[in-house]
Structure formats: structure tokens, C-alpha cells
Amino acid sequence: MSEWLEPLIKIALVVGASQAAVAYLVLVERKAAAYLQDRLGPNRVGPWGLLQPLADGLKFILKEEIVPDGADRWLFLLAPLAILATATFVFATIPFGYVVPGPGGQSIALTIAPNSDIGLLFVFAVGSLGVYGVILGGWASNSKYSLLGGLRSSAQLISYEIPLGLSVIGVLLFAGSLNMETIMTEQARSGWWWVVVQPLGFVVFMVSGCAEATRLPFDLPECEQELIAGYHTEYTGMKFGMFAFAEYLHMITIAFLAVILFFGGWHFWGLAPYTEANEVGLLGALIRVIVLNFKVLLMIFFFMWIRWSWPRFRYDQLMDLAWKAMIPLGLINLAICAYCQEFLKPDDYTTRAILGWLAVGGCLAWGAFSASAQPAPVRPSPVRVG
């Protein structure tokens, strides 16, 4: 296959699949929310409501597009494009499987930009640019609610990028590479998923990733009780749809990264074991694609479950969690991983796992001790009138 045709085909497949996935993940989430709240959910458009995403898309297209008076028109229009573009670009280096056998005995990697030595760094760098779309949307709207939402977002996303980065440094130490294909291959070769070896890093990654995707209980930039809709209060039609689309792409990205970095990616014992790329057949390649994407779907459902089960944090609680809990825990995980890498044998994952779980137990014990040492809140005595 020619050097320019293969990437174009991959880009078209990824963009088309991501749009369809977001449309139907919205339906899945609405159905899941209905189940958790003892409701029926969407069931009017098509059999079992399966055509609801088409109706929602048509509604977004036909809605009136409004630009508020006093708004900076060009920045107002640029903001949703910026956040959607950055949310889409990150998929350039994310693997969707292992390899598939191609013509002439060559293997085709299931990544738009395969074997990128800066793959994970590219995802973090491009993904962090999405905050500019939020800030631009909040500032250009000429609305106090939107501006406050943009300010909240800038503080939240920048704060949680620190523990998010700390949580993956241990993975990079063990893999010795920023290449996500190498990270999955190393887990498959050793037979150890790094959620077992680095449980503390996984907890920090999941909490920080949920906050970076601005999903409940971390959706303070668009908190409707206080800010109506936050940074996208003044947006209508497809411009609002692009913000919602980008939010779901962020959630999918975090789910892919969690699976690739901590759950072995395409690896599963017995079903999809470690195999050299040139030895993978068509059936083996299909199994690995199914295993990886099934894990991602389970992770996405976990995010949905959290959203409809947990109440929203206060903003001070949100920032305290980042600076007083997640960053210290990320540093502890980094110190343990650095110790293991320096003083233990490269394949001694049993000791690494024991140290990782001891760290989790120590942090839980310290948290319980700190909570018990705090004085009980003093309730004011009732005031009698008359």
C-alpha cells in the first residue's frame, strides 16, 4: 500500500468511527442513566430508541445559530473548533489494536502514526491545548457565567495535568519508552498488567483523567446550579454540539489511555498472548482488536456509572483533591517506581506489585488516621424565639 494512501484510509476510518461512537455512546449513557434512576430512557425514535442519535444530530443542525451582542465573533466561532480539533488530533498516535497482515507479507499497524517514539507525549501535549477552546469560549461570549466557567476550567485542567503526568511516569520507567505500542507489548511480554504493579498510579490516573475530561463529579466548569451551563452558556446549535462532542472524545481518550497504560491494551492471557508482529494472523489480529476495544467500552461504562452515582464536588474540594491528595500520591507512586527500577531486577514484577499494594494500604491507613484525628464539627445550639 502506498505511503500516502494508508494514512488517509486510517484517518477516514478513525474520524468516521469516532463520530458514530460518540453518537451512540450518548444513547448508551442515557439508557444507563435511565436504568440507574429507574426510568425507561429514549424509546420513541426507531426500535428501542436506536435512531435517537440521528434525531439529536438533526436537531443540532436545524437549531438557530446565535452570536450574542458584544461577543468577539471570530473567537466565539473559533472556540468550539479549537476544542474539537485538539480532541480529534490525539487519536493520531493511539493504537486501536496490534497489527493486521497486509499484502506482500507486510504487517499494517492499527495506528494512524505507528511506532511513534513520542506517542504518549503527543497525546498529552495536544490534549492539553483543549483548555484554550474552553477559555476562548468563556471569554468571547461576553457573559459573566461563561467567563467564570472559563476561569474555573483553566484552574481545574492545569491543576489536574500535574497528577495526571505524575501517574504515567511510573509506566514510562517500566516500559522505557513513550511508544504506546511498546508499552502494551511490554505488559504482554511480562504477563503483568500494570494496574496490578502500580495500583496507586492507576487511582491517580483515573481521578485526574476524569477531572481532565470534566465529567461528573468534576464538571465544575459547566456547573448548572451555579453557572447555568458555564463556558458554553451562550452557544447554540452545532457550536454547542461540538463542545459536547469534544467532551465525549476526551472521555474516550482517557479510556483508551487507561486500558493501554494499565490494563495491557490488546493483551489477554491465553486469548491474545504476546506474539511477534510478523507472526500475527488475521484471526489473531481481529481478536486483539476486539479485546482492546472491549476493555475500552468497559472503562467508558465505568465513567458513565460514576457520573450518575456521585454528587458534584464543591470547587474548593476539587482543588484540595488535586493539590493535597493526588499530587502527593503521584509523587509516592513515582518514588516507589524509581526505587524498583533502580534496585530490583527488570523482571521482578512480584516484588514491585507487593510494594505497590503496600503503598496503597499505607495511604489508606494514613487517610483513616487523619480523618479520625480531625475534631468533630460543632453544631450551633438552637435559638429559641419568643
Quote the pLDDT of residue 19: 87
Q: Are 230 and 138 in contact (CB under 8 A)?
A: yes
Q: Rounded to two decimals, what is the model's pTM?
A: 0.89
CA distances from 200 to 177, 240, 327 (A): 20, 36, 12
Q: Are 81 and 235 in contact (CB under 8 A)?
A: no
Report the candidate in 203, 207, 186, 179 with the shortest Cα–Cα distance to residue 333: 203
Q: Chunked in runs of 10, what are the mean pLDDT values of the chain (386 residues)?
A: 77 89 90 87 87 88 82 85 90 88 77 87 89 83 80 84 92 91 90 92 93 80 63 82 86 93 90 78 87 93 87 83 92 93 88 91 86 69 65
In terms of phi and psi (left: phi > 0; alpha: psi -120 to 50; beta: otherwise), the region of 45 is beta
Q: Are 146 and 224 in contact (CB under 8 A)?
A: no
Q: Are 310 and 35 in contact (CB under 8 A)?
A: no
Report the candidate in 80, 46, 33, 10 with the shortest Cα–Cα distance to residue 231: 80
Please list, in sequence order, all residues whose beta carbon lies within 8 angstroms of the beta carbon of residue 163, skipping any fewer than 6 positions away: 204, 207, 208, 322, 326, 327, 329, 330
Query: Locate cell 503521584: which residue?
Result: 330
Separation of CA 148 from chain center = 24
Please list, in sequence order, all residues whose beta carbon lies within 8 angstroms of the beta carbon of residue 16, skipping any fewer than 6 positions away: none
Q: Which helix (H) or strand (E) holds 101?
A: strand 99-101
Indicate the DSSP class of residue 109. E
